[in-house]
Amino acid sequence: MIEESEKLKSSTENRALVLADRLVPWCLGATVVTYALTRNATRAISCLMVDFSCALKLSMPLAVLSAMLECGASHITVKGGKYLETLSKADTIVFDKTGTLTRGVFEVSGIHHNTIPEEKLIELAALAECASSHPISKSLQKAYGREIERDRVTGIQEISGSGVIARVDGAEVAAGNGKLMKRMGVDYMDCHSSGTIIHIAIDGNYAGHVVISDVEKPTSRAAIAELKKIGVKKTVMLTGDIGRVAEYMAKKLGVDQYRSDLLPADKVAEVEKLLAETGRKGKLAFVGDGINDAPVLSRADIGIAMGAMGSDAAIEAADIVLMDDDPMKISKAIKISRKCIGIVYQNIAFALGVKALCLILGALGIANMWAAIFADVGVMVLAVLNAIRALYVHSL
């Protein structure tokens, strides 16, 4: 899925460098024409001195390098300069929930409708989930509180987006969501508590469910509010949680929309729909941390991964990595990228304007050699000084 998604992502062309390459022949042509018409070597050399390439060739790389260094100082790793331009246009931000907007630290907060003692139910669930590294599995093992005896568990089957089936002490134990229970034909009791519900069946008989609650990150709500403040039009949360849990968290965080009960492939499909809604001018950024987010990170216009607790697959697939897992850094990265691209366009406009003026005045004999030198070297120096302003975005 990651490989297929990568094929669909378009690269951003470095327009400043392409423009510079195309203008140089015109500048040389103007030099030849000026000499042919005037037979004045000074005017011709003045036109040649103006050139168009230096300031334009430097404006993009230096501004981008400065912006990337500023991002690095804020613990934001940008894998390439081309991603800054895409990020500057981001108007739709899509989030994974667990580990991205929430801490991914789950705790057992309730046990309901159990037909066996609570301690036994937790023990069977923890043993069945012992091979999984998912935060929910870890929370069950933590609630069990004892060393996992792996020799008691055989035949582990992990069913993506549903749960786990394993044999524990010879009995078939299924631990997962309602999809898993339906798949096994087990009648289960729904739960109205807020949190992730893990239903447990033993040998095809319902044994109860465990409620596991996640905690939002301290900066998540402020991060969503800040994104809206800087002009992001839409924020969306994608999660494999059931609708009730997703709705509760979306309202709590202030997210505009949410999609629930999603498998990894469903997340890609939802992002495809959102990409179609974004339009030609806008860009979509996806923020995630898990291995199941990797295909979506590679398919989005810009993929942002959590670097501290994120999976290797997510970090590899992403274009930008937040090294401290702080959602507030998303708005910071967008501000830096917008400032960077603004500086690039300022340099392009300034360089073209001054050089074109000096070229015309030099050909007419109005501007002398010194004006031509300023148009070349002076404009280049000013473009460099302007570009390094991207290093100072601390106040944003």
- Residue 354: what residue type? V
Tell me how crowded residue 29 is: count the other CB atoms within 10 A of its CB: 11
In sequence order, the 6+-apart residues with CB closer than 8 A to the CB of 69 are 391
Buried b (16+ CB within 10 A) or exposed e, 250-277: beebebeebbbbbebebbbebbeebbee
Kindly name the residue from 21, 91, 96, 324 that is annotated as catalytic: 96
Q: To the nearest 10°, report the CA torsion of 27, 33, 35, 39.
A: -160
Q: Give the distance, in angstroms, between the CA of residue 259 and the centroid of all CA atoms in the same chain.
A: 18
Q: Are 194 and 204 in contact (CB under 8 A)?
A: no
In the three-class reduction of DSSP (H, G, I as helix; E, B as strand; rest coil), residue 341 is classed as helix
Instruction: Report d(CA 370, CA 365) in Å as an integer.
Output: 12
Instruction: Report d(CA 17, CA 292) in Å as an integer.
Output: 37
Residue 96 designated active-site: yes
Instruction: Report d(CA 252, CA 75) in Å as an integer.
Output: 27
Active site residues: 96
